[in-house]
Each structure stands twice: as C-alpha cells, then as structure tokens.
C-alpha cells in the first residue's frame, strides 16, 4: 500500500512539473533558435513545445516499460505456477507408480500362493490316489486269501469272525513227527503254543 501511495505522489509531482515547464516556456521569447529534427521531421515552436514533446515521448516510453514489466510478471507467475504444477504432478506420478508397484507385488504374491496351493492340492490328490490304490490292493489280496483258504473261516478287516481251524498236533513243515515238547494247547490269541 505504501508503494502505491508513493507512486501516486511521484506521478502528481511529475504532472505539476510538466505543466509548469510547458506554461512558462511558451511565447515569442522562448522560440527555438536552432533547428531541431527527429527522423527528418523539423520541430518548430517554443522550448515549451519541445518540453511537451519530451513529456509525450517519456510517457510513451513509460507505457512501454509498464507493459514489458506486466508481461514479465505474468510470465514469471505462469512459470512459477507451472513449476509448482509440475512438482505436484511428479509427486502424484511417483505416488501412483509406488501404488502400482505395491499392487503388482501383491498380485505376484497372490499368484505364487495360488500356485503353491494348487501344487499342494495336486500332491494331496496324488497321495489320496496312492492310498486308494493301496487300499484296493489290500482288499484284492484279502479276497484272494479268503478264496485260497476255501471258506474255512471269515475275516473282515483283520478280525476273525468264524471258527478256528481244527486242532492239529502236527507241524506241517515237520511232517508226521510228534512234537517233542508235548501236545500243544490253544492260546487266547488263536495261536498254538507248546506246553512247558
């Protein structure tokens, strides 16, 4: 505000000096004695008229200087705003790029977890199939055993449900020789052991 008041004061003083210089230097007493020309145009008249032309040229020069400074100020302001906008844009671009990298990392991690879960699922399915094949093989062997024993007794899942085979004192590997330890007795588990 102080600069505006100071500028207004200087302008008023300059106007007063210009009017005083023009008014006091007119008339026949103040005629130009020497030829004065600008771009081939001869200026005639009083020294006050010459002073007036000087004021007009100065005012036009000041107008040009004011336009130049105003344009420079606007260009500077636009440049500053553009720099601030560019800085903000770069900041936002960096934040978006960082967010994009985080999302890409999360996506890759999720893909790896999904692939690992699929491998685990396939491994478990393979183990299940192996166990099913073993179960089927055990069932097949059990059926063959049952067919081979000719139905003397029934077994289901390793549990004896039928009668025990008839008591025989002879060992099939030894032939018809009697047992030197004496006759065998039955054991609660179904096996025969020699009496001691």
* CA dihedral for 7, 9, 13, 18, sign (positive or negative): positive
Secondary structure of the chain: what % helix, strand, coil (to 5)?
Answer: 65, 10, 25
- Asked if residue 190 lies in contact with residue 167, where contact means CB atoms within 8 angstroms, the answer is no
- At residue 119, the pLDDT reads 93
Distance CA 178, CA 123 (A): 57
Q: Is the pLDDT of residue 173 over 70?
A: no
- At residue 196, the pLDDT reads 42
pLDDT, tens digit, for every residue of 117-149? Answer: 999 999 999 999 999 999 999 999 999 898 887
**pTM score > 0.85 for this model?**
no
Distance CA 183, CA 79 (A): 118
Dihedrals φ, ψ of 38, to 5°? -130, 120
- At residue 1, the pLDDT reads 72
pLDDT, tens digit, for every residue of 34-89? Answer: 777 777 777 777 777 778 888 888 888 887 888 888 888 888 899 999 999 999 99
Higher pLDDT, 53 or 195: 53
């Amino acid at each position: 505000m102080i600069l505006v008041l100071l500028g207004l004061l200087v302008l008023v003083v300059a106007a007063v000096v210009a009017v005083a210089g023009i008014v006091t230097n007119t008339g026949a007493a103040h005629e130009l004695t020497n030829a004065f020309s600008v771009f081939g145009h001869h200026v005639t008249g009083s020294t006050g008229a010459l002073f007036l032309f000087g004021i007009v040229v100065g005012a036009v020069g000041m107008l040009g200087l004011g336009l130049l400074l105003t344009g420079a100020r606007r260009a500077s302001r636009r440049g500053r705003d553009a720099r601030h906008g560019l800085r903000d844009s770069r900041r936002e671009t960096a934040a978006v790029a960082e967010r994009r990298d985080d999302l890409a990392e999360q996506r890759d991690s999720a893909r790896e977890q999904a692939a690992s879960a699929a491998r685990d699922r396939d491994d478990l399915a393979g183990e299940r199939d192996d166990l099913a094949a073993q179960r089927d093989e055990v069932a097949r062997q059990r059926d063959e055993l049952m067919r081979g024993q000719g139905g003397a007794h029934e077994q289901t899942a390793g549990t004896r449900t039928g009668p025990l085979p008839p008591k025989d004192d002879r060992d099939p590997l030894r032939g018809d020789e009697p047992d030197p330890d004496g006759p065998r007795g039955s054991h609660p588990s179904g096996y025969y052991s020699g009496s001691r």
